[in-house]
Amino acid sequence: MSANLSAVFYLFSGVLFILALRGLSSPKTSRQGNFFGILGMIIAITVTFLSIGNFSSGFIYVLIFLLIGGLVGAFIAYKIPMTSMPELVAGFHSLVGLAAVFVAISAFLNPQAFNLGSPGNIKISSLIEMSIGAAIGAITFSGSIIAFLKLRGIMSGSPITFKGQHFINLLLGISIVVLIFYLCNTQSQSFFWRLIEISLLLGLLLIIPIGGADMPVVISMLNSYSGWAAVGIGFTLENSALIITGALVGSSGAILSYIMCKGMNRSFFNVILGGFGATEKSLSSKGKEQKPVKSGNAEDAAFLMKNASSVIIVPGYGMAVAQAQHALREMVDVLKKNGIKIKYAIHPVAGRMPGHMNVLLAEANVPYDEVFELDEINNDFANSDVAFVIGANDVTNPAAKTDTQSPIYGMPILDVERCKSVLFVKRSLSPGYAGVDNELFYRDNTLMLFADAKKMTEEIVKNLD
């Protein structure tokens, strides 16, 4: 296959990838979009085989590795529970990063295969491109591993900070640039290896100071990085499919990070510099006095909701941890049978990654047209009888509006306080991730339901009959 023809096909598969993302603008077109993505990938891979046209020796091994990897991937995709999506995505990011590093290494060691010159005499521009691809890939890899370990709970979610951290990161960043410069001057292998090592270290150090609550931002950010790594490799290989895809993924991750930051009213730099969640804990414990709380049981909750005409459900990550989404749907089904209007309200940072809560509700067969985003639903709270808050806390805290001293001040919240009555399903009065007390707990129209989210919801269902 001629180089021009394959370039046209690569362009075509790039366009299919654009359509894949475009399809996600609505659930109806999304499956078609995914199909376009798969088609684009098949075209890209087939064209690569045909353009090289070497089906003799390595070909069989390429197929074997492709097949084994594919089987592993398919197995994971079918086995993974939806609550573990954040870990899965973090893990996948690390693989993209590592693959980028490996491709860069291959190209560096065997530049003839890629038409980039000969070892020790690689074109300078290609050398810069592959170094950037390798460096960002390595940062993505080690950063995603840390994110994976934190999300999985293998590593503590609390931020790890030490003196001079940012200075060290800055130093590492500068040394990456210096190394690339010397690499171009000398073409020496040892500079290339140092470059990868330092990038790995930098990825590690960038993510360890970021706390568990900021993980949605971290995942989105690493998503973006994996895209930029692909762009670096795409320039090296002069492949437009890779460049287009990398740019799409890079901007997608950047936009998601921005949306997540806005959802928490924190600047991107504030998140990256880290340490959130550790310093604030002390704040809540000292100002804590015993205030009266109204607590109730499943019977009270069932009574309140039965007599309501509209109920808004506010799910949070606690619901996912307790695996209460199916029980919740059952409860809603009973309520709906009684003619009660139901809506779900989802805060942008309700899960551990962007859109996580929506997927969990979808898994429990909640129709997506009953699920609303913050801006769409916030005015409805005032006209609703009951807000059923399950496993959420900080995202409902009015302190974000009133208390300028609060660490969450300025964060957009769901206005559950404007409902006639508020039900909180929670295990205890303990503060949420941000470490701030929620004054809503002590209001007259709030009823606390202290229990495991799943058990409580199941009991409410029993009491509704």
Partner 1 sequence: MEIDPFIFRLSIFILSIFIGYYVVWSVTPSLHTPLMSVTNAISSVIIVGAIIAGLSTDSQNIFNVSSIFGFLAIFLAAINIFGGFLVTQRMLQMYKKKKKDK
Q: Is there binding between residue 308 and partner 1 (CB under 8 A)?
A: no
**145 scored as a contact of partner 1 (CB under 8 A):** no
| Residue 109: alpha-carbon gap to chain centroid | 34
Helix (H, G, I), strand (E, B) or coil at 444: coil
C-alpha–C-alpha distance, residues 273 and 170, integer Å: 12
Name the active-site residue from 214, 375, 394, 444: 394
Is 214 part of the annotated catalytic residue set?
A: no
Residue-wise DSSP of 320-360: HHTT-HHHHHHHHHHHHHTT-EEEEEE-TTSSSSTTHHHHH
- Residue 69 contacts partner 1 per CB under 8 A: yes
| Site pattern 110..129 for partner 1 (x: CB under 8 A) | x-xxx----------x----
Query: Residue from 87, 88, 211, 432 that binds partner 1 (CB under 8 A)?
Result: 88
Pick between residue 119 and residue 287 the one whose CB is nearest to partner 1.
119
Q: Could you give the CA distance from residue 69 to residue 64 in angstroms, rounded to a whole number? A: 9
Q: How far is the CB of 294 from partner 1 (least distance, A)?
A: 34
- Buried b vs exposed e over 299-310: b needs ≥16 C-beta within 10 Å? ebbbebbbebeb
- Which range, of 105-113, 154-162, 383-391, 404-412, touches partner 1 by CB under 8 A? 105-113
What part of residues 49-68 is at the interface with partner 1 (CB under 8 A)?
49, 52, 54, 56-59, 61-62, 65-68
Residue 457 C-beta: closest distance to partner 1, Å: 19
In what order do the strands lie in the sheet containing 386-390?
371-373, 341-346, 310-315, 386-390, 421-426, 446-450
Could you count the other beta carbons within 10 Å of the beta carbon of residue 97? 29
Contacts of 245 (CB under 8 A, 6+ apart): 14, 17, 227, 230, 234
Strand 310-315 vs strand 121-122: parallel, antiparallel, or unpaired?
A: unpaired
Alpha carbon 48 to its chain's center: 31
Token digits of residue 264: 């928490």
Which residue in the set 5, 81, 106, 294 belongs to the binding site for partner 1 (CB under 8 A)? 106
Tell me the pairing of strands 117-118 and 121-122. Answer: antiparallel
Asked if 24 touches partner 1 (CB under 8 A), the answer is: yes
Binding footprint of partner 1, residue count (CB under 8 A): 118
Indicate which single residue of 1, 41, 168, 184 sits in contact with partner 1 (rule: CB under 8 A). 41
**In angstroms, what is the minimal distance from the CB of 178 to partner 1?**
24
Binders of partner 1 among residues 264 to 283 (CB under 8 A) are: none
Nearer to partner 1, 109 or 171 (CB): 109
CB of 269 to partner 1, least distance (A): 21
Computed on alpha carbons and rounded to an integer, the radius of gyration of the chain in Å comes to 26
CA–CA gap between residue 171 and residue 186 (Å, rounded): 22
Contact, 361 vs 325, CB < 8 A?
yes
Nearest to 5 by CA among 40, 35, 50, 64: 50
Mark residues 358-397: x for contact with partner 1 by CB under 8 A, - for none. xx--xx-xxxx--x-x------------------------
- Which tokens hold the place of 452? 């495991």
Given 71, 171, 177, 178, the residue binding partner 1 (CB under 8 A): 71
Q: Which of 3, 5, 102, 288 binds partner 1 (CB under 8 A)?
A: 102
Site for partner 1, residues 225 to 264, rule: CB under 8 A: 226-227, 229-231, 233-253, 255-256, 259
Please give the backbone phi and psi of residue 371, each rounded to the nearest 5 degrees, phi first: -100, 130
Q: Which two tokens stand for residue 100?
A: 């980028």
Based on the shown chain and the rule CB under 8 A, indicate whether residue 328 belongs to the binding site for partner 1.
no
Read off the DSSP letter of residue 83: G
Residue 9 CB, shortest distance to partner 1, in Å, is: 11
User: Which of positions 191-230 make contact with partner 1 (CB under 8 A)?
Assistant: 219-220, 223, 226-227, 229-230
Choose one: 161-169, 281-289, 357-365, 397-405; the region binding partner 1 (CB under 8 A).
Answer: 357-365
Among the candidate windows 108-116, 205-213, 268-276, 382-390, which touches partner 1 by CB under 8 A?
Answer: 108-116
Minimum CB–partner distance for residue 360 and partner 1 (Å) = 9
Closest to partner 1 by CB, 229 vs 451, is: 229
Q: Pick from 2, 4, 26, 121 the residue near partner 1 by CB under 8 A.
A: 26
Closest distance of CB 109 from partner 1, Å: 4
Q: CA-CA distance, 21 to 17, in Å (whole number)?
A: 7
In 3-state terms, what secondary structure has residue 420? coil
Assess 170 for contact with partner 1 (CB under 8 A): no
Among the listed residues 158, 148, 141, the one whose alpha carbon sits nearest the alpha carbon of residue 201: 141
Query: Encoding tokens for residue 116?
Result: 């980039």
By CB under 8 A, is residue 307 in contact with partner 1? Answer: no
Contact between 5 and partner 1 per CB under 8 A:
no
Out of 83, 93, 132, 213, the residue judged to bind partner 1 by CB under 8 A? 93
4 vs 10: CA distance, rounded Å: 10
Smallest gap from Cβ 102 to partner 1, in A, equals 4
Q: Which residues are designated catalytic? A: 394
